[in-house]
Structure 1
Amino acid sequence: MTNTPLLQAMLPLLDDLTRELPDNERFQRLLAALLELVPCDAIALLRLEQDHLVPLAVSGLSADALGRRFKVDEHPRLAALLEQRGATRFAADCELPDPYDGLVECRHGRLEVHDCLGCPLFINERPWGLLTLDSLDPSRFGQIALDNLETVARLAAATVQAGERMNSLSRRLENEAHLTESYRLAAGQRQPAQIIGQSAVTQRLLGEIALVAGSDLTVLIGGETGVGKELVAQALHRQSPRAERPLISLNCAALPETLVESELFGHVRGAFSGAVSERAGKFEIANGSTLFLDEVGELPLPVQAKLLRVLQSGHLQRVGSDREHQVDVRILAASNRDLAEEVRAGRFRADLYHRLSVYPLHVPPLRERGRDILLLAGNFLEQNRPRLRLRGLRLSREAQAALLDYDWPGNVRELEHLIGRAALKALSRHPERPRILSIAVEDLDLPASSSAVQAELPVERSAKQPGLRQACEHFQRQLIGAALERHQGNWTAAARELELDRANLSRLAARLGLK
């Protein structure tokens, strides 16, 4: 006998297999179809990346959930799901902690999930990720939900695979595990950090990285302090043909002027006081790989001239030696200074600037990345949760709004440190160490923004009122932002709620600076 609701839910997914869709829209449509079959409070699609599960699409979870990285061995329920071939339901009295405790959107004060089930997704007989469903009702799921989830999971795997093929990601996915593992072992890192974000400026940056990574062009990475220039360099290297060798880095601002030349080019015994043996420099160590020169604008002018020679010819001489060494090194450089202005001021060589900026890459400041702030905050919350031995760590709605309203002069690094301090401050208010810790707006200790101060002022006391157009645009930003938050960044769903055409909403958001 035909299961009519199941068939009706699957038909749009079957149509999507042959359509070219953005990944986020494809995945959100998948979750919407599953919600039709198995109504619940929260649903998520997660991809397995080494020892972490990365959320690709969520519904009903806190806005920061997409930025979290769930380490499998720290979340026994997720580990248990990955070990099964079919759907698994966890009873309401299951003692295993739920990774979504405190993250499910709840208007009734209950933060802990009561009924959950999940199913692994397999592609080419290998585990690819998970579908998870959660409910605050302890009796929501039953055998029908399990059966339906297993059926949809097979179609979900086909949906994911179709999307990857259409986006030419299949080859990259096959090689990713090998290349990343080689990089991890060589660099001594457990897992390379990722660039997290779904904003238009972040996606544009990721597109430029993918474009230039496969070449040997020299890239000059610019941006304010704390925006993540080193992460961009790591991403460029990981996606390059040189990825099997380690990325070699040198912070040019962290060395005394007398040692910079030796660090770059090496030295021979007796070249200077303290040179008791020969030593290879970063260029020789990076031969065949990539050399990242951070804060390159801090190099002394005499060293700049020698660096230019190496970039032009590929030949270098160790300090104190007449012998030349040939090297094959790709250069990535970064600076928080405006090097063009430094050239005009005579503090940086023009010829070296032009040699370094073959492909300039600008990393946007955090204040221009919109709701990426919440995704990054979620990532830092998940990093701090096991350190503080907490079952759940979350942001209150007021805290989320405060993060979005702040200007972030210190960028991502400031956000990372702020989340760590706020978690400790929130914990200090709860000596009993709660199972789920909520960070309140006062824990963030952020200075009041100008817009927040203005909103608190009575109309008659405000020294200068905004014009009608400014007030309308401010209200539109708040309305659109709230709709996007309710729909986890899904623009189609937000447009439907606001009774706007999707394209019109996109144009309006771009005009208002929300995209």
Structure 2
Amino acid sequence: MTANQQLATFIPLVADLARDLPEQERYQRLLQALRQLLPCEAAALLRLEDDYLVPLSVIGLSADTLGRRFKVSEHPRLQALLASPGPLRFPADSPLPDPYDGLVENLQGRLEVHDCIGCPLYLQDRLWGLLTLDALEAGRFGRIDLDTLGAFAGLAAATVMAGERIQLLTRRVEDERQRAALYREAASQQRPRELIGQSAVHRALLEEIALVGASELSVLISGETGVGKELVAEAIHAASPRARQPLISLNCAALPESLVESELFGHVRGAFSGALSERRGKFELADGGTLFLDEVGELPQAVQAKLLRVLQSGQLQRLGSDREHRVDVRVLAATNRDLAAEVRAGRFRADLYHRLSVYPLRVPPLRERGRDVLLLAGYFLEQNRARMGLRSLRLSPAAQKALLAYDWPGNVRELEHLIGRAALKALARQAERPRILSIDAEVLDLPGTPPAGGERSLPPATGEARGLSLREAVERYQRQLISEALERHQGKWSAAARELGLDRANLSRLARRLGLK
């Protein structure tokens, strides 16, 4: 590439520095320019978070890559790139496994990456992350001037910094919440569990969490089984001024009725048979922090009355004691029941329901989150890859389509278990342990999964398709695909759209144009 061509690549990115662009668009433009400057099959921008590298934007890699969290100690190439003072090119015959093996799109039978270069990104002398480029052809990067990549890395760092500064200017974050985040980071040695997704409904959920997290309001988190209500509660606590204090959880459905009151409020010695010593309850353990009541709809009505009193007055009595204890606790509750209906049926106290649901928060089911299923699948794939000691664990294109087409009645929990089970089944089918393990659609064993043999292929242009123009033949085939998808999903347009990889509204418009609606 000539100097003028390089300049033409850099100029739009320099102009972007002053523009208020969405984060994803800013990073995609950056990677598109990188691929134009240094042609390759795949490029990625990754941010370093503790001991993990988190993909923020990718081009030419499987969609599930964005959901993966690469533990640095498990990926020697990423370790080498982070330790490098500047751009680094790996030899084509390097024995180090590439984290993107099996993840590059349009593999055409070649699963392993054969050429790789990368560069660490620094923001004001702080190691921020990596830029990586990969090619399937050995020696592709042999003639590349690493100084060019180094110059681009400087511009990439400026792009990242500009994006972060614009976010700080436009995001209203109170000082107390910022301090809480710093305290949480210093106090916690465990990596916090992450809410993964990029869909519109998921972004709306994160905005609500940030909004209510900074308040002291009680939150009633509702949603189907397996959507991640406990993770939402953790995120609300982490976003609150109480983040330094404990988050105490109690599953109300997991305890016998006789022990619920003791678990919540504690007991004194001799309060009941087996009470051999004094014991603090969950409210006292959570004093100053947050108490999360999971499956709150399962509480016995007698306990509901006592819980209401504590929420109203902040005072409680241990079981068997006349002494009152004052507590300062924020309560988050979760349920997969319709508590309003339970109130109407007389099974849940109306006054407690209104006290708990000051801010009702619904967690969307997985079937409403579109391509988030692939990001979550990538997260679970990376977990299972490390657990099974594999070089790479990937989904075939047909398997990705099957995941998108399924309705997920068990939501994220079902997806997690399915990925673990499918990985074991796929490994059991191998005669010898593979370097790269692919999960095919038939191993997932989902309803509507195509039979072994892969994805549907276009029918040959014979018979009734002869004599049609290209547009007419394409429209006929589109009608066939949409009709078959609707038939498989009993007329459910949303499910058919997911299977076909289309937005629900776009499918509806296409169907009207084709005369199907």
State the match for 1:272 in structure 2.
272
Change (3 A) 1:474 1:319: closer
Contact 1:221 1:335 in 2 (8 A): yes
State the match for 2:206 in structure 1.
206
Change (3 A) 1:431 1:193: farther
State the match for 1:414 in structure 2.
414
Displacement after TM superposition at 1:96 (Å): 1.1
Given residue 414 of structure 1, which amino acid in structure 2 is its aligned partner? Answer: E
> RMSD across aligned C-alpha pairs, in angstroms?
3.1
Given residue 369 of structure 2, which amino acid in structure 1 is its aligned partner? Answer: R
CA distance in 1, matches of 2:297, 2:494: 39
CA distance in 2, matches of 1:464, 1:117: 44
Whether 2:96 is the aligned partner of 1:96: answer: yes
Whether 2:501 is the aligned partner of 1:481: answer: yes
State the match for 1:181 in structure 2.
185
Tell me, what secondary structure is at the counterpart of 1:155?
A: helix
State the match for 2:118 in structure 1.
118
The C-alpha deviation readout for 1:436-471, integer Å capped at 9, x for no partner, is 000011110112279xxxx99x999xx99979xx99
State the match for 2:469 in structure 1.
none
CA distance in 1, matches of 2:437, 2:443: 12
CA distance in 1, matches of 2:288, 2:485: 61
CA distance in 1, matches of 2:49, 2:508: 33
Tell me, what secondary structure is at the counterpart of 1:220?
A: strand
CA distance in 2, matches of 1:206, 1:428: 39
Displacement after TM superposition at 1:417 (Å): 0.2
TM-score by length of 1: 0.86
Displacement after TM superposition at 1:108 (Å): 2.4
Tell me, what secondary structure is at the counterpart of 1:279?
A: coil
CA distance in 2, matches of 1:476, 1:252: 38
Tell me, what secondary structure is at the counterpart of 2:360?
A: strand
CA distance in 2, matches of 1:354, 1:10: 57
Given residue 36 of structure 1, which amino acid in structure 2 is its aligned partner? Answer: Q
State the match for 1:153 in structure 2.
153
CA distance in 1, matches of 2:17, 2:132: 22
Whether 2:28 is the aligned partner of 1:24: answer: no
CA distance in 2, matches of 1:114, 1:4: 30
Given residue 219 of structure 2, which amino acid in structure 1 is its aligned partner? Answer: V
**How is 1:454-493 mapped onto 2 (pairs within 5 angstroms)?**
477=497, 481=501
Q: Which has the higher contact order (CA 8 A, sep 6+)?
A: 1
Displacement after TM superposition at 1:198 (Å): 0.8
Q: How many residues align?
A: 477
Displacement after TM superposition at 1:93 (Å): 1.1
CA distance in 2, matches of 1:329, 1:302: 21
Contact 2:180 2:240 in 1 (8 A): no
Tell me, what secondary structure is at the counterpart of 1:27?
A: helix
Displacement after TM superposition at 1:58 (Å): 0.3
State the match for 2:65 in structure 1.
65
CA distance in 1, matches of 2:360, 2:510: 27
CA distance in 2, matches of 1:209, 1:398: 35
The C-alpha deviation readout for 1:254-297, integer Å capped at 9, x for no partner, is 11111111111111111111111111111111111111110000
Q: Which runs of 5+ in 2 are unaligned?
A: 451-455, 458-476, 512-517
Given residue 481 of structure 1, which amino acid in structure 2 is its aligned partner? Answer: G
The C-alpha deviation readout for 1:141-182, integer Å capped at 9, x for no partner, is 146442222111111111111111211289899869744434
Given residue 73 of structure 1, which amino acid in structure 2 is its aligned partner? Answer: S
More displaced stretch, 431-440 vs 99-108: 99-108
**How is 1:310-459 mapped onto 2 (pairs within 5 angstroms)?**
310-448=310-448
CA distance in 2, matches of 1:182, 1:252: 31
State the match for 1:494 in structure 2.
none
Contact 1:182 1:244 in 2 (8 A): no
Contact 2:237 2:247 in 1 (8 A): yes
Displacement after TM superposition at 1:90 (Å): 0.8
Displacement after TM superposition at 1:478 (Å): 7.5
Change (3 A) 1:266 1:512: farther
CA distance in 1, matches of 2:95, 2:484: 57
State the match for 1:163 in structure 2.
163
Given residue 51 of structure 2, which amino acid in structure 1 is its aligned partner? Answer: D
CA distance in 2, matches of 1:250, 1:465: 43
The C-alpha deviation readout for 1:19-45, integer Å capped at 9, x for no partner, is 111111111011011111101000001
Given residue 195 of structure 2, which amino acid in structure 1 is its aligned partner? Answer: I
Contact 2:402 2:499 in 1 (8 A): no
Given residue 181 of structure 1, which amino acid in structure 2 is its aligned partner? Answer: E
State the match for 1:196 in structure 2.
196
State the match for 1:291 in structure 2.
291
Q: Which runs of 5+ in 1 are unaligned?
A: 483-504
CA distance in 1, matches of 2:182, 2:77: 27
Given residue 368 of structure 1, which amino acid in structure 2 is its aligned partner? Answer: E
